[in-house]
């Protein structure tokens, strides 16, 4: 995308465009001005934070006093630079951030492509309070096969269980740091209306477009 749009709704049916954030107003390099990738948002102590994939290998954060901005580039540099991804062991490509707020008030950021990391955020939500920790997934499976996941990791919690998902595949753990155990996919192809089926039956089931395209 070329920019990021923020929308609001009183009922999740009627939507109003509130604001547009341009990559020029973030630490994005000019080479990434037409490469605006996935985002996530968070709030803490009355402030709002917008986490942005600036290009395919860095994540920035901007802050504001309202969900739709206006936004301030307080750091003037990526929160998660490409150099961090290459320095981790094993390395990963940093994009598609997920911010997760736990029941105890701690907030975490999850990032990575195929190889995922998690780190607790500082109280200012614009720093890391710890070194990123590798997320281990036992028996992982995704659209690319065994022991492979995807981009766009997402973390949520239900009851006492943490769910780490990539696309429509997911794993479970008793701690946000894992280890996670692969469980399955949320997609049941028999429930997909024929008009929306991809009808792709070549190769193993997990590679079919009904799963790969979520």
Q: Could you tell me the pLDDT band of residue 87, with boundaries at 50, 70 and 90?
A: very high
Enter the tokens of residue 110: 């999850």
Q: How far apart are CA 98 and CA 77, in angstroms?
A: 19
| pLDDT over 90 at 166, yes or no | yes
pLDDT surpasses 70 at 214? no
DSSP reduced 3-state for 60: strand
Confidence of residue 142 (pLDDT cuts 50, 70, 90): very high
Instruction: Give the confidence band of 201 by pLDDT, cuts at 50, 70, 90.
Output: confident
pLDDT at 212: 86
The pLDDT mean for the chain works out to: 96
Q: How far apart (Å, rounded) are the C-alpha atoms in residues 181 and 199?
A: 30
- Provide φ and ψ at 117, rounded to 5°: -130, 155
What is the C-alpha to C-alpha distance for residues 187 and 209, in angstroms, rounded to an integer?
A: 11
The rounded distance, in Å, linking the Cα atoms of 55 and 62 is 15
Concatenating the DSSP letter of every residue in 90-143 gives: S-----S-EEEE-TTS-EEEEE-SSS-EEEEBPTTSSSBSS--EE--EET-EET
pLDDT at 45 over 80: yes
The correct answer on CATH 2.115.10.20 for the domain covering 1-123 is: yes
The Cα 176–Cα 210 span in angstroms is 29
Average pLDDT over residues 20-49: 96
Whole-prediction pTM: 0.94
- Tell me the pLDDT band of 127, cut-offs 50, 70 and 90: very high
If one counts every other C-beta atom within 10 angstroms of the C-beta of residue 140, the result is: 21
Q: What is the pLDDT of residue 200?
A: 86
In the predicted model, what is the mean pLDDT of residues 174-197? 94
Return the domain boundaries, the chain: 1-123, 135-214
pLDDT at 73 over 80: yes
Cβ atoms of 172 and 161 closer than 8 Å? yes
């Amino acid at each position: 995308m070329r920019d990021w749009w923020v929308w609001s709704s009183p009922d999740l049916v009627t939507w109003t465009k509130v604001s547009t954030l341009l990559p020029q107003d973030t630490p994005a390099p000019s080479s990434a001005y037409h490469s605006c990738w996935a985002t996530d948002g968070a709030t803490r102590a009355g402030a709002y934070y917008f986490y942005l994939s600036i290009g395919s290998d860095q994540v920035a954060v901007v802050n504001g006093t309202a969900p739709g901005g206006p936004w301030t580039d307080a750091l003037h540099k990526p929160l998660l630079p490409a150099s961090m991804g290459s320095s981790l062991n094993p390395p990963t490509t940093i994009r598609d951030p997920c911010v997760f707020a736990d029941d105890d008030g701690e907030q975490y950021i999850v990032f990575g492509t195929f190889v995922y990391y998690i780190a607790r955020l500082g109280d200012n939500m614009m720093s890391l309070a710890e070194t990123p920790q590798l997320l281990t997934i036992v028996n992982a499976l995704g659209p690319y096969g065994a022991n492979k996941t995807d981009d766009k990791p997402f973390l949520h919690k239900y009851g006492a269980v943490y769910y780490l998902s990539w696309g429509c595949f997911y794993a479970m753990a008793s701690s946000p740091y894992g280890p996670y155990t692969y469980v399955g996919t949320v997609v049941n192809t028999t429930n997909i209306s024929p008009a929306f089926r991809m009808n792709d039956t070549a190769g193993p089931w997990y590679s079919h477009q009904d799963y790969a395209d979520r």
